[in-house]
Amino acid sequence: MATLKIYAPNPLPAEGVTDTTFNIWKDALEIYLEVDERFHKFLNGGEYTTWEAAETYPDRIRVLHAADTESNLSTIRKELRQFLCIIAKFVHQDYYQPIVRHSTSVDWIYKKIRQDYGIEQKGIHFLNILDIKYDPTGNVTPIGLYNNYRSLIMGNLGKTGDTVQWQNTVLTEDEKLSPTMEDLVLVNVLQLLHPKLPAYVKEAYCHKIGNTKRLMDFKSDILSKAKQYIEEIEEISPQVSHLNTQPQESDPDYDQPDAEPACNYSNTQRQPRQRFARGPYRPSPRPRPQPPQPSAQNRSFQYRSNLPPFCRLCQLSKQPREVFTSHYVGEDNCPSMSQKDKTQLLQRATAQLSNLQLEDDIAAEYGYEPISPHEQ
């Protein structure tokens, strides 16, 4: 019968150890030590999982387990020394003495290594989760990023006997990730992969999940296709760059600019909602609002534009915004004009409004230009 050879782990380097590399080293070390049954008693779950530091008690083990006798005590102490030297051999030499002389358990050794390498997980170190980034040019895959993120969450879960001060309770059992927490972890990882990826996944999987399934039911499918989704999102990035730049003549929907273009606040403050199709990802064309034109056949100035109502006179009269955006100039419900003025508005509105000072960006959408300083 063929046997499997267990190799010793590679020693930890002096620096550059991450949470992932530490966990790989830790598991490899424990598997290597488990080959020798003499060391089982010192690993977690064994009869001698704790001992004393050499400075406190040179022999390290003071009290025997009930199944052992005084004749075995010397042998157990020798085996513990061998156990600690083997572990120290697979760590950088700077940690040899702390492990051999100061350690009190295997967990103490692990905690000490995490402290010195800056990869602790509990307490304030839980915020190390903010340092997790995704580099598409690196070696970390989307599923690898997910595993790293989830591993840090798992490392911070409470254990039986831990005190939760803000709840004034003591945990009676180990914490476990709930299904909702698992979904949240996946959503956070998608956000790290690409800021627009969660919205893309929402649109692509909403018809599959419904009310009967959870996001985690599609974790493998989503993460395996994450790079493809990101590429589809990035493909449209140049097409939406016109939100912050001037259109070019080469653009298929380029419009010839007016001789005196007006400031359009909707171009700088509002961005259209982009919906993700289940097929190729393409943005819908962005409409350009045009200044409204009054109808000669309608004296109530019901503009044919889709822009909201706006009364310049109410604005200049210091009326609240909800008032001067509730009607057009000259309508019956305008509180800033008398009925006589409303009747005569058609003859004198153009001459009066052309000399008014621009005070609000909304006036620009209706074609009002600011007056120059020498005209004020």
Q: Is the pLDDT of residue 211 over 50?
A: yes
Confidence of residue 60 (pLDDT cuts 50, 70, 90): very high
Residue 349 pLDDT class (50, 70, 90 cuts): low
Q: What is the pLDDT of residues 132-154, one digit of tens each?
A: 888 888 778 899 889 888 888 88
pLDDT score of 370 more than 60: no
CB 191 within 8 A of CB 268: no
> What dihedral do alpha carbons 119, 125, 131, 132 form, nearest 10°?
70
Whole-number pLDDT of residue 239: 53
What is the DSSP-derived secondary structure letter of residue 220? H
Q: Tell me what pLDDT residue 201 has.
A: 92
Rounded mean pLDDT of the chain?
77
d(CA 132, CA 363): 47
Q: What is the distance, to the nearest Å, from the Cα of residue 338 to the centroid of all Cα atoms in its chain? A: 56
Residue 222 token pair: 């989503």
How many Å apart are CA 22 and CA 90, to the nearest integer?
12
Range from 126-140, 148-162, 185-199, 353-367 carrying the lowest mean pLDDT: 353-367
The pLDDT value recorded for residue 245 is 47
Per the model's pLDDT, the better-predicted residue between 53 and 322 turns out to be 53
Max avg pLDDT among 58-67, 111-120, 275-284, 288-297? 58-67
H or E segment to which residue 170 belongs? strand 169-170
pTM: 0.49
Judge whether residue 196 has pLDDT over 80. Answer: yes
User: Which pLDDT does position 209 carry in this prediction?
Assistant: 84
Band (pLDDT 50/70/90 cuts) for residue 244 is very low
Confidence of residue 241 (pLDDT cuts 50, 70, 90): very low
Task: State the Cα–Cα distance between residues 298 and 186, nearest whole angstrom.
Answer: 57
Q: Residue 187: name the closest of 215, 207, 167, 209 by CA.
A: 215
**Closest to 293 (Cα-Cα) out of 369, 365, 370:** 365
Give the residue with greater pLDDT, 350 vs 70.
70
Q: Place 302 in a pLDDT band, splitting at 50, 70 and 90.
A: very low
Q: What is the pLDDT of residue 259?
A: 44
The answer to whether the CB of 128 falls within 8 A of the CB of 208 is: no
Q: 113: closest CA among 99, 127, 124, 101? A: 99
Q: Which of 11-25, 144-158, 222-236, 275-289 has the lowest mean pLDDT?
A: 275-289
Least confident segment among 162-166, 223-227, 281-285: 281-285
Interval 54-71 mean pLDDT: 89
Residues ≥6 apart with Cβ < 8 Å to 237: none
In total, the chain counts a number of residues equal to 376
More confident residue, 255 or 106: 106
pLDDT at 249 over 60: no
Contact 136, 230 (CB under 8 A): yes
For residue 243, name the pLDDT band (cuts at 50, 70, 90).
Answer: very low
Q: How far apart are CA 55 and CA 73, in angstroms?
A: 19
Q: What is the pLDDT of residue 338?
A: 77
Q: In which band, very low, low, confident or very high, does the pLDDT at 36 lie, cut at 50, 70 and 90? A: very high
Distance in angstroms (rounded) separating the CA atoms of residues 155 and 148: 11
**Lowest pLDDT segment from 2-11, 178-187, 295-304, 359-368:** 295-304
Alpha-carbon span 177 to 186, nearest angstrom? 12
Residue with tokens 């914490």: 175
Give me the pLDDT at residue 261, please.
Answer: 42
- Other CB atoms within a 10 A radius of the CB of residue 224 amount to 12
